[in-house]
Structure 1
């Protein structure tokens, strides 16, 4: 896992830098900077819109007395999309924009649920967590 993170933090900036430089060569430096700003503003607007939509779906599920599992995963993906949109570069912006499209999130959601299902322990209300000790001996106080 650590190796993947190191590669990610080295490879992504290098790829972003390469794409930005090649874009600047192709269309010009000022145009590239303008395009990066435009895509970031568009992404921020989309993150806000999608985030509010997910929030309303979460509220709706909670009002119905249901657990908003899918909606929470969507919220996490929108949050990730927002972080990617804040990262300067065309590649991260493209991935962020893809995550903001609901059908893309619907395709990714089952993969994430399957991956994390066995890694998360869920306890219902009132149930003791692992390692909780319950001492039933009562001492009479005077």
Structure 2
């Protein structure tokens, strides 16, 4: 509740106060131009970083790894895009912090530790689909936690029996 109050009440008031003070110092037109330029530059930079991050995600998926950190960074990039097109200096600073790779990665890791839903658990991605086990290792690694090897094939006999009855 406190976070929502800060986002929707305190932050806009602080932005307005800061915009008024800056425009009093450098002029209204200069302040307006700075806000427009940071929005345009921010949108371009978020787009560029988004494509780079997408390539990292695809590389991890091809390697059979869960791109959990990259997905958290992608969420931060989405928030950064919204912050950068919102007029104001505080939102621009936060947006650029979420956009720059050297600051985005530690923020994403911090959020992954604090928000349990962003933790991937054990996951394995491959071209054949999504596989997971409680150990976090892919199914095809062979050994379970107790040391037994589980391997097998099965055939669903119920479908073939249903087909034979219909014919």
**TM-score for both structures, normalised by structure 2:** 0.69
Q: Deviations over 1:11-68 (max 9, x none)?
A: 0000100111011000001111011001101100100000111111111111111111
1:130 maps to what in 2? none
C-alpha distance in 2, partners of 1:121/1:46?
A: 28
1:6 maps to what in 2? 5
CA root-mean-square deviation:
2.3
Q: For 1:7, what is the secondary structure of its paired residue? A: helix
Change (3 A) 1:85 1:52: same
C-alpha distance in 1, partners of 2:90/2:35?
A: 11
Q: For 2:78, what is the secondary structure of its paired residue? A: helix
* Equivalent pair of 2:69/2:109 in contact (CA under 8 Å): no
**TM-score for both structures, normalised by structure 1:** 0.80
2:32 maps to what in 1? 33
1:23 maps to what in 2? 22
Which has the larger Rg?
2
**Structure 1: gaps (5+ residues):** 128-140
Change (3 A) 1:121 1:16: same
Change (3 A) 1:120 1:113: closer
Q: Deviations over 1:71-98 (max 9, x none)?
A: 1011011111111112110110111011
C-alpha distance in 1, partners of 2:53/2:111?
A: 17
* Equivalent pair of 2:61/2:67 in contact (CA under 8 Å): yes
Q: For 1:65, what is the secondary structure of its paired residue? A: coil
The ranges of structure 1 where at least 4 consecutive aligned residues each deviate by more than 4 angstroms after the TM superposition are: 118-127
2:81 maps to what in 1? 82
Once the two structures are TM-superposed, the CA of residue 111 in structure 1 deviates from its matched residue by 1.2
